[in-house]
Amino acid sequence: MSDQPFVPLCVPSLSGNESRYIQQGLDSTFVSSVGPFVDQFEQQFAQFVGSRHAVACSSGTAALHVAMRLLDVGPGDEVLVPTLTFIASANPIAYERATPVFIDAEPRTWNLDCPAVIDEILRRAAAGIKQPKAVEIVHILGHPADMAELVDVCDAHGVAIIEDAAESLGASYRSGPLAGRHVGTIGRVGCFSFNGNKIMTTGGGGMIVTDDESLARRAKHLTTQAKLPGIEYRHDEIGYNYRLTNLAAAMGVAQLEQMPTFLQRKRKIADRYDRALGQLPGITIPPSADWAEPSCWLYTILIDAERFGTDARGLIAQFESEAIQTRPLWQPLHRQPMFRDAPRLGGEVAERLAAEGLSLPCSVDLTPEQQDRVLAVMERCAGRLAADAA
Ligand SMILES: *Cc1c(COP(=O)(O)O)cnc(C)c1O
């Protein structure tokens, strides 16, 4: 065991106005799901990502669940979703008793294989097969999915797009048809998460964004028990208690103020890792397409065990013995027991990425010294001297 201080994978940075705003929330006695910080957070968030409307929720998962309801996803419907993502991308499809269809990842950005989705939609159109109700595009690890062409095909065939942008707040498109647009603002509904490990946090929370005013109004309605206005307890559909509290929103406002700094720091950390790790044999540094402006949320590399000398699981154990937290990528969702019988298209790329992926410490407040320690382990495991790559 190491006697060095622990380096966590990805923890929040809370040195802005968090405690001041939360104290204001306490002082105002608006601690629950109504209050000025909720409105302020929604407005400022919409402005930050460039969306007309934003509706705060209790989690990213809740946001995705509401998104399914907004698009009337229900029993008998199919939703195409990548197999290489966190489980919360797919569970809301199952909550509504719809069928997830798992799509492989593509090797360039590790996101949903959009050309495969286009082929599937065109194949169904030609054969007269019912189209999926929606495609859920997940922007994983901070890198935008290459979705421009898919948007047109979905439009032409009446397939709605939901974006799970939980991991990629702040990422956008640099060039091409989506130039200047933030992830989450392209489909009919976009969802974000403010869980503790995400680039900004409210402790727990999420956001739904949309340009469609009626969808935004319905989102707010569904998250507040679908209660009709007035003092009588009248509800016109099944709703949820999914609102974000004013205290959590106070924290959100403070975190959002720091997003430009957070993004800068994430990109700087990634840049330093890229330069050092790009030199090591058998290491693939994270994708960064020339048309994309990634947020660099969770710094993840691929390890070719044969060329590097150790596989991802071996490295995790090595890091653990040095008090450094690392993580593998997710097991593909088509491998999870409750989704084992779900239809899928491919999955081999996702399985390779899951076997080879390793996420390294990349908290916004990671120090150069902590990063040195991570790099030293990588260099030692690669059988090279630390001095070599410096
Ligand atoms: C974190 C995450 C979610 C869920 O967000 P919570 O706020 O934890 O409910 C959904 N999708 C992806 C891809 C995520 O990483």
Pocket lining for ligand 1, CB < 6 angstroms: 59-61, 85-86, 88-89, 138, 164, 166-167, 193, 195, 206
Residue 85 has which token pair? 């993502």
Cα of 108 vs centre of ligand 1, distance in Å, is 22
The residues with which 208 forms a beta bridge, in sequence order, are 55, 191
Q: How many angstroms does the Cα of residue 92 sit away from the middle of ligand 1?
A: 11
- Quick one: which atom of ligand 1 is closest to the CA of 61? 9
What's the CA gap between 160 and 117, in Å, rounded? 13
Ligand 1 mean position, distance from CA 61 (Å): 6
Contacts of 27 (CB under 8 A, 6+ apart): none
In angstroms, the Cα distances linking 385 to 206, 374, 388 are: 44, 14, 5
Tell me the CA–centroid distance for residue 137 and ligand 1, in Å.
13
Task: Pick the closest to residue 198 from 44, 363, 64, 390 (CA basis).
Answer: 363
Instruction: Report the half-sphere exposure of 149 (CA within 13 A, side-chain side).
Output: 11
- Distance set, CA 301 to CA 326, 339, 358, 361 (Å): 11, 27, 5, 11
CA of 60 to the centre of ligand 1 (A): 5
Q: According to the model, what pLDDT value does residue 321 have? A: 96
CA of 373 to the centre of ligand 1 (A): 29
Which one, of 358, 164, 359, 182, lies nearest residue 259 by Cα?
182
H-helix segments, 212-245 = 213-223
b/e string for 282-303 if b means 16 or more Cβ within 10 A? bbbbbbbbeebbbbbbbbbbbb
Q: Which of 10, 61, 331 to mutate to test the pocket of ligand 1 (most atoms within 8 A of CB)?
A: 61
Q: Record the tokens describing residue 194, joined without a space.
A: 């403010």
**C-alpha–C-alpha distance, residues 292 and 284, integer Å:** 18
**Nearest residue (CA) to ligand 1, atom 2:** 166
Q: Which one of 59, 193, 198, 244 would you pick to mutate in the ligand 1 pocket, going by the greatest count of ligand atoms within 8 A of its CB?
A: 193
Mutate to test the pocket of ligand 1, among 79, 91, 195, 208 (most ligand atoms within 8 A of CB): 195
Q: Which atom of ligand 1 is nearest to the CA of 138?
A: 13
Q: What number does the ligand 1 atom closest to the CA of 62 have?
A: 9
Q: What is the end-to-end Cα distance of the chain in Å, rounded? A: 26
Averaged pLDDT, groups of 10, the chain, 390 residues long:
89 97 94 90 98 98 98 98 98 98 98 98 98 98 98 98 98 98 98 98 98 98 97 97 97 98 98 97 97 98 95 96 98 98 97 98 98 96 56
C-alpha 167 to ligand 1 mean position (Å): 7
What DSSP designation does 130 have?
P
Atom of ligand 1 at shortest distance to CA of 195? 7
Separation of alpha carbons 72 and 136, rounded Å:
14
Q: Which residue, judged by its Cα, is nearest atom 6 of ligand 1?
A: 60
* pTM for the whole structure: 0.96
Under DSSP, is residue 189 helix (H, G, I), strand (E, B) or coil? strand
Helix, strand, or coil (residue 114): helix
